[in-house]
Amino acid sequence: MKIQKLYITAAIAAAAVVSACNGGAPKAPSNLPVYLDDTKPIEERIEDALSRMTTDEKVAMVHAQSKFSSPGVPSLGIPAIWCTDGPHGIRTEVLYDEWDQAGWTNDSCTAYPALTALAATWNLELSELYGKSIGEEARYRNKTVLLGPGVNIQRSPYNGRSFEYMGEDPYLSSKMVVPYIKGVQSNGVAACVKHFALNNQEINRFTTNVNVDDRTLYEIYLPAFKAAVQEGGAWTLMSAYNLYKEQFCGENQYLLDDILRGEWGFDGVVVSDWGGIHSPDGVIPHGVDIEYGSWTNGLTMGKTNAYDQYHMADAYKERLADGRADMETLDARVRRILRLEFRTNMNRERPFGQFTSDAHYAAARKIGSEGIVLLKNEGSILPINASSVKKVLVVGENAIKMMTVGGGSSSLKVKKEVSPLDGIKAKLAGKAEVSYERGYIGTTYSSYNGVTAKVDLSESRTPEKCLSDAVAAAKDADYVIYVGGLNKEEGQDCEGADRTEFNLPYGQDAVISALAKVSKNLVVINISGNPYAMPWVNEVPAIIQDWYLGSEAGNSLADVLFGDVTPSGKLPFTFPVAYEDCPIRTEAQYPGILSNATGGATDVPTRILQEQYSEGIFVGYRWYEKESIKPMFPFGYGLSYTTFEYGQAKISKTFMTASQTLTVTVPVTNTGKVAGAEIVQLYIADAEASVVRPAKELKGFDKVSLKPGETKTVSFTIDASALSFFDADKHDWVAEPGKFTAIVAASSEDIKSCVDFELK
Ligand code: BGC
């Protein structure tokens, strides 16, 4: 008995040694200083570390030491903080002080679908899978902070960066952002939610001052950030480049001190956008916690003291010494940064991550195929039967262009990218002949930030010849699959500039119309992160809204085209018929009017663009419904290969008080022949209010998978928050007693049934 007991004890001890060697469970011995003792609460460890730091060490922590890193506390063994873009994959390594690539050969990542695609899945589980997977890649590459996700609202279809965000609706983006953050942070890597706030365009992003009323700010532009902080528990946020109330967002008292840290109780770190800080006196009192990417003279003229010239470096020390800055504010910043360190780098229990694994490609493929939106399928020409089709012609530059290369800071160097053409070829291998025609010439050279796409886009033919060759080839194809849309070139979906036209570029409208004349089985697939005009909508039988889908783009698309996956994505933004239909009507609304700055901040240029968000809360479907403008395709719209029938919605009771909830249920049946998933949406309409309210607003959704013939009952809980508007005078959310309608719908336009209730 005794021998056996000894034996067991030895085994436990051995296991503990093995576990310790693996960096696993055992805690640090208790003779360590408090800040290293992870049996102690984080707040105690922070105070201990802070008490051991010199002023120089504190100041060092609040600004960059290289392009993407800031120091920890070397004397205490607290590691540096390393950031990486974000938000669709882990950015390739750049040189220590430069944007140029470092030329590493081990940093080619997995590219995940763009965030518009994720939003189009309306699937919270996939958002968590996305976050977990990309977080694993960041962790594997030893990054502390992943610079994403982006949640700026799509206000205009011209925004060059819409593809990095989650659409036009604050509720949808609030729900979708939370699991992404939790997934990333489960790796001990911080998500960095960007760009806080009101960064809804790329043009003039450094000189635009947004004028927006409080109600619009709180109802439309802040909810996703608030959810990220309060529900997602985001550890970091990135300030935006633009101005609000004539203060740069990275130096903004209202956004950072009053709202984020004050009203929302954010205890994490705010990092500046790269180069978004403009003066010590702007940033020190209430700006960001860490300043990154400032383009000081030091960086361009002399590298020895470059980072000392940051606005929160030597200038901070001078101000501490002469009393213009106080230690309390600096300590508060350092506490937040130490908290980030303990949550990430100093967390000895965080996992190790993984990189370009099969599981990651599988995740990217699944998210991609679930995000694809089927817009039109006349005569059910889709899915294509891979066993009976003989000749398929693929047309369009986007069928071969590497879409992970380009677009700004989210550009990636990937280990693999399956193009739409390759995805289609793989599906039809040994079954049908697949040929390719370019159809139009967009770009002939594809290289970005040191990454050259592995595809030759040079072209010797004229655009006319490209088109006539495509039309000739289309004549005897069973199916013509057109893959076009926007791309990641400047002026398309790309950081740093906005789009300049609503139509598809490079003469694609004419190409699509010409193909439609010779093929009755034309499938138009457009890749984009924005809506665009479709003058050919009635000429073509099938349209698919594809997105930038990353490494598995072609496989995700082929899965949907050939019916291995039943499409189940729905639009996260409205497709208006024409740009003129959208809420942006005047120069004052966009891109703003050049005027004198009046706020008095010394670092603000004397002339700035004053932009008026005078459309107020009427953004996206809220606008089209108010103005009775019929869009081309409404928010929340998407078809399937099967059909769904909705039963009558029922409500648990016909009245509630502000502290109660009620439940709306609706049975949904798959009435078609294949399995599929339906996104059931709940909108709330306020019949009578003391303020103008949208016709209805999204307040719930659920994605249900149904086998043929199967029925499931979807249930939504309504509480006072779903009925509230932001009362600017009271500076609070108000749910006014009165009548409301709960609307169950398949899109913002396709209403299935309504139930009335009253708030007493
Ligand atoms: C972008 C950020 C990005 C940063 C670092 C900026 O230009 O606006 O979104 O994370 O660069 O690359």
Rounded to the nearest angstrom, the distance between the alpha carbon of 725 and the centre of ligand 1 is 33
Asked if the model's pLDDT at residue 635 lies above 80, the reply is yes
Rounded to the nearest angstrom, the distance between the alpha carbon of 165 and the centre of ligand 1 is 13
Mean of pLDDT values over 302-324: 90
Residue 195 CA, closest ligand 1 atom number: 9
Residue nearest to atom 4 of ligand 1 (CA): 274
Nearest to 407 by CA among 734, 62, 116, 759: 116
Q: Which of 10-24, 309-323, 561-575 has the lowest average pLDDT? A: 10-24
Asked if the model's pLDDT at residue 25 lies above 80, the reply is no
Query: According to the model, what pLDDT value does residue 4 have?
Result: 40
Nearest to 220 by CA among 613, 593, 626: 613
Query: According to the model, what pLDDT value does residue 333 have?
Result: 98
Rounded to the nearest angstrom, the distance between the alpha carbon of 267 and the centre of ligand 1 is 22
Q: Are 321 and 330 contacting, i.e. CB atoms less than 8 angstroms apart?
A: no
Please pick, among 85, 273, 509, 559, the residue that the annotation labels catalytic: 273
Stated pTM of the model: 0.95
| Distance from the first to the final alpha carbon of the chain | 71
Q: For 244-280, how does the pLDDT look when each residue is reduced to its tens digit (9 = 90+)? A: 999 999 999 999 999 999 999 999 999 999 999 999 9
Q: Residue written as tokens 């994490």?
A: 268
Residues in the ligand 1 pocket, defined by CB under 6 Å: 85-86, 147, 194, 273-274, 409
Q: Are 416 and 549 contacting, i.e. CB atoms less than 8 angstroms apart?
A: no
Q: For 580-610, how does the pLDDT look when each residue is reduced to its tens digit (9 = 90+)? A: 999 999 999 999 999 998 877 778 888 999 9
Residue 402 DSSP SS3: coil
Rounded to the nearest angstrom, the distance between the alpha carbon of 579 and the centre of ligand 1 is 28
Q: For 133-172, how does the pLDDT look when each residue is reduced to its tens digit (9 = 90+)? A: 999 999 999 999 999 999 999 999 999 999 999 999 999 9
Q: Is 107 part of the annotated catalytic residue set?
A: no
- Whole-angstrom CA distances from 133 to 113, 117, 442, 569 are 12, 16, 33, 21
Q: What is the mean pLDDT of the chain?
A: 94
Q: Count the neighbouring beta carbons within 10 Å of the beta carbon of residue 220.
A: 26
Spatial separation of the C-alpha atoms in residues 136 and 354, rounded to whole Å: 5
Rounded to the nearest angstrom, the distance between the alpha carbon of 89 and the centre of ligand 1 is 13
Rounded to the nearest angstrom, the distance between the alpha carbon of 313 and the centre of ligand 1 is 21
Mean of pLDDT values over 686-706: 97
Query: According to the model, what pLDDT value does residue 452 have?
Result: 83
Residue nearest to atom 7 of ligand 1 (CA): 274
Give the burial class of 374: count Cβ atoms within 10 A of its Cβ; 0-12 exposed, 13-18 middle, 19 or more buried: buried
**DSSP label at 305?**
T
Asked if the model's pLDDT at residue 350 lies above 90, the reply is yes
Residue nearest to atom 3 of ligand 1 (CA): 409
Residue 164 CA, closest ligand 1 atom number: 9
Query: According to the model, what pLDDT value does residue 23 have?
Result: 42
Residue nearest to atom 6 of ligand 1 (CA): 274
Q: Are 371 and 549 contacting, i.e. CB atoms less than 8 angstroms apart?
A: yes
Spatial separation of the C-alpha atoms in residues 569 and 640, rounded to whole Å: 9
Residue nearest to atom 8 of ligand 1 (CA): 273
Query: According to the model, what pLDDT value does residue 591 have?
Result: 96
Q: Kindly state the percentage of the chain with pLDDT values over 90.
A: 90
Which amino acid appears at position 72 of this protein?
Answer: G
Residue 496 CA, closest ligand 1 atom number: 7
Q: Are 529 and 202 contacting, i.e. CB atoms less than 8 angstroms apart?
A: no
Query: According to the model, what pLDDT value does residue 31 have?
Result: 84
**DSSP label at 165?**
S
Return the higher-pLDDT residue of 62 and 447.
62
Residue nearest to atom 11 of ligand 1 (CA): 274
Residue 194 CA, closest ligand 1 atom number: 9
